């Protein structure tokens, strides 16, 4: 059995994530050696014996490789250049460090996959600058609009959008990325010969052409509830951070956000209308400090990009610059408020009304006149045309 066939065999008989298989690989054992140990039921593979007890005879590696090739896809492992080594090392290395406060009951699942089945572009380059965008299946009109604006802004700056292909926010994120000419990655919870949900089959074909469709599972594996939870850890691990657009109190999308925190990635949530149950989960995460509040792509880029690359506050200053009157200092505003548009007021009267010394009043009036906010007529003053 070749190395590639050994990996395919292990992908079939060991359903990831597998802490025991990961430990053997990290100790330097080759895939072919481990596969042979599984088939021969050798004791040195330790707990992997029990983990493969009911599946070790499922030896259909060649068939799986032929089936993925017929779909235009391939099997990739840590031996391949396109394996997202940087993303996985950061994510699962952080989990292994023990500093995470978020792993709790699913700590044993916090290991990287041993193989991935892929259709589309090479994975590692796509994930070099990537962010996950997920949310509820029962999206509102608000959620649709927010997702479109958010994804369009990210794609415009060459960010790859990763999601889970579910109906609702996930679908909108993938579709917007494609429509904007960007790249997107869909992580499936079943073999790539299945399209789940079925109505997104055409969308997944577009993704395979313009990005990548990825699964931890070999062909033939069907979508089941526990596989969606397992899939969520990959969505979080592959990216620099996860944005949740809409999520109700018990939304499954919150699981992906939890994985982002558990794997040392940035967890982000978009606030919604306070009247909407669709955003209760987002608001709870923001209130508890478990997610950063973001309102657009610039907020996301500021959190995930290089330090100083994006300054959202400065951009807001440019986009929503105050009027000349809003930019006045406290004393300047005192002077300005004492004047009328059509009635001229003597300097001494302005000083008395403002409660400022006469010399300071004259100085401020002259400065305001240079800016066109007041006009002078002899020793009297009125508001200018620019006010």
Of the candidates 225, 233, 13, the one whose C-alpha atom is nearest the C-alpha of residue 106 is: 233
| CA 259 – CA 210 distance, rounded (Å) | 27
217-246 burial code (b ≥16 CB/10 A, e <16): bbbebeeeeebbbbbbbbbbbbbbbbbbbb
- Residue 275, SS3 per DSSP: coil
| CA 358 – CA 354 distance, rounded (Å) | 10
pLDDT of residue 313: 52
| Topology given in CATH for the domain delimited by 71-317 | Rossmann fold (3.40.50)
pTM of the entire structure? 0.80
| Topology given in CATH for the domain delimited by 330-383 | Arc Repressor Mutant, subunit A (1.10.10)
pLDDT of residue 101: 67
Phi, psi of 74 (to 5 degrees): -160, 165
Task: Please give the DSSP secondary-structure letter assigned to residue 325.
Answer: T
pLDDT of residue 112: 92
Type and span of the H or E element at 186: strand 184-188
Domain positions in the chain: 1-70, 71-317, 330-383
Taking residue 108's Cβ as centre, other Cβ atoms within 10 Å add up to 11
pLDDT of residue 99: 72
pLDDT of residue 103: 58
| CA 64 – CA 78 distance, rounded (Å) | 19
pLDDT of residue 113: 95
Say if CB 371 and CB 386 are below 8 A apart.
yes
pLDDT of residue 258: 92
| CA 74 – CA 82 distance, rounded (Å) | 11
pLDDT of residue 269: 96
Give pLDDT tens digits along the chain (387 positions): 789 999 999 999 999 889 999 999 999 999 999 999 999 999 999 999 999 999 999 999 999 999 999 999 999 999 999 999 999 999 998 888 877 666 555 567 889 999 999 999 999 999 999 999 999 999 999 999 999 999 999 999 999 999 999 999 999 999 999 999 999 999 999 999 999 999 999 999 999 999 999 999 999 999 998 999 899 999 999 999 999 999 988 888 899 999 999 999 999 999 999 888 989 999 999 999 999 999 999 999 999 975 445 555 555 554 555 778 888 888 888 999 999 888 899 999 999 999 988 998 999 999 999 888 999 988 899 998 766
């Amino acid at each position: 059995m070749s190395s590639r066939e050994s990996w395919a065999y292990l992908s079939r008989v060991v359903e990831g994530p597998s802490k025991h298989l990961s430990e053997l690989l990290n100790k330097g054992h080759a895939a072919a050696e481990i596969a042979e140990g599984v088939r021969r039921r050798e004791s040195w593979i330790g707990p992997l014996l029990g983990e493969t007890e009911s599946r070790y005879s499922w030896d259909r590696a060649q068939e799986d490789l032929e089936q993925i090739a017929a779909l235009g896809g391939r099997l990739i492992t840590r031996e391949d250049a396109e394996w997202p080594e940087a993303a996985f090392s950061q994510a699962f290395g952080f989990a292994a460090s023990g500093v995470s406060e978020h792993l709790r009951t699913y700590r044993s699942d916090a290991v990287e996959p041993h193989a991935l089945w892929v259709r589309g572009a090479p994975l590692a380059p796509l994930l070099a600058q990537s962010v996950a965008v997920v949310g509820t299946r029962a999206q509102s009109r608000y959620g649709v609009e927010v997702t479109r604006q958010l994804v369009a802004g990210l794609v415009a700056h060459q960010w790859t959008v990763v999601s889970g292909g579910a109906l609702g926010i996930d679908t909108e994120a993938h579709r917007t990325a494609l429509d904007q000419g960007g790249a997107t990655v869909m992580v499936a919870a079943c073999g790539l010969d299945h399209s789940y949900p079925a109505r997104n089959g055409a969308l997944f074909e577009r993704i395979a052409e313009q990005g990548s469709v990825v699964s931890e599972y070999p062909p033939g594996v069907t979508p089941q509830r526990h596989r969606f939870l397992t899939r969520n850890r990959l969505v979080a691990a592959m990216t620099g951070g996860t944005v949740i657009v809409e999520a109700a109190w018990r939304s499954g999308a919150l699981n992906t956000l939890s994985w982002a925190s558990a794997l040392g990635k940035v967890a982000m949530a978009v606030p919604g209308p306070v009247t909407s149950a669709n955003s209760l989960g987002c608001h709870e995460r923001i209130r508890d400090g478990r997610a950063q509040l973001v309102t657009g792509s610039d907020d996301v880029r500021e959190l995930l990009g290089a330090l100083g690359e994006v300054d959202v506050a400065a951009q807001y200053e440019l986009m929503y610059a105050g009027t000349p009157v809003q930019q006045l200092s406290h004393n300047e505003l005192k002077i300005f408020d004492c004047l009328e548009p059509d009635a001229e007021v003597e300097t001494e009267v302005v000083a008395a009304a403002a409660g400022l010394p006469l010399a300071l009043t004259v100085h401020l009036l002259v400065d305001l006149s240079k800016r066109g906010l007041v006009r002078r007529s002899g020793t009297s003053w009125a508001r200018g045309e620019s006010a």
